[in-house]
Amino acid sequence: MERLTKLFFRLLALLTVEAAVLWLAFVGCLLLFLFMANTVFVARDTVLDEMLFRFASSHASPQTTRVMKVISFFASAEYLMVVPPLVVLVFSFFERLRWYGLKVLLISLTSTLLNQAMKRYFERPRPAIALLEQSGLSFPSGHAMIGGSFYGLLIYIVWQTVASRVWRWVITILLSLLLLLIGYSRVYLKVHYATDVLAGYAMGLLWLILSVYLLRKIEGRFVRQIKQD
């Protein structure tokens, strides 16, 4: 065990800071997703779900419900069918952003397809006490997973393209808060369990990290091919 620990830290030391953070995030997301899946489908543990439902009910009101419906819209199917293509369109007018536009399109599309495939695989019904009429299955949450990959990608693009350190942090904090509120809104509206949302966040960020890594590899090969030609 001691040898494995030393080997782990030696390998970690060889990585850049960015690569180390991404690798740890990837592993962390994978472990979180597996833990949520085990909690729901193997252990059948509902403690976390019931606790979050009780917490949401403790401050429920018509005004809060209206606010949560608005927040939830920012990762709805209707929103995500329109906004990513608009982002791609805007990015297409700036040469340095065009490749990022392609990433937005590909990652948004593939995360949506992956989420639907996973829902059909796990086949967890939605909560019977939902405050909204929603069709489809529950695990993992599409709002958390697809929203996580979309807003996570926007944060990545901001850190790659925005020169001002202050603005990078401001935009990152705002997008992160929006994403967290989106996940909570799904629990508050009782259209998802907390475990659905956490699994969605984990898989959305995991898919984002993997997709960005693969696309960067493709980009590097493409650039080298152009130079050779």
Range of the domain at 203: 19-228
Nearest Cα to Cα of residue 103 among 227, 217, 221, 228? 217
Q: Does the residue 12 lie in any domain?
A: no
In-domain check, residue 178? yes
- pLDDT for position 227: 44
Q: Are 199 and 139 in contact (CB under 8 A)?
A: yes
Cβ pair 194, 49 in contact under 8 A: yes
Query: How many domains does the structure of the chain reveal?
Result: 1
Q: Could you tell me if residue 57 is inside a domain?
A: yes
Q: Is the dihedral of CA 18, 20, 26, 32 positive or negative?
A: negative
* Residue range 26-80, pLDDT digits in tens: 899 999 999 999 999 999 999 999 999 999 999 999 999 999 999 999 999 889 8
Judge whether 167 lies within some domain: yes
Give the number of residues written for the chain.
229
- Whether 174 is in a domain gets the answer yes
Residue 13: inside a domain: no
What pLDDT was estimated at residue 86? 92
| 46 found inside a domain | yes
For the chain, which residues score pLDDT lower than 50?
226-229
| CATH classification of the domain holding 213 | 1.20.144
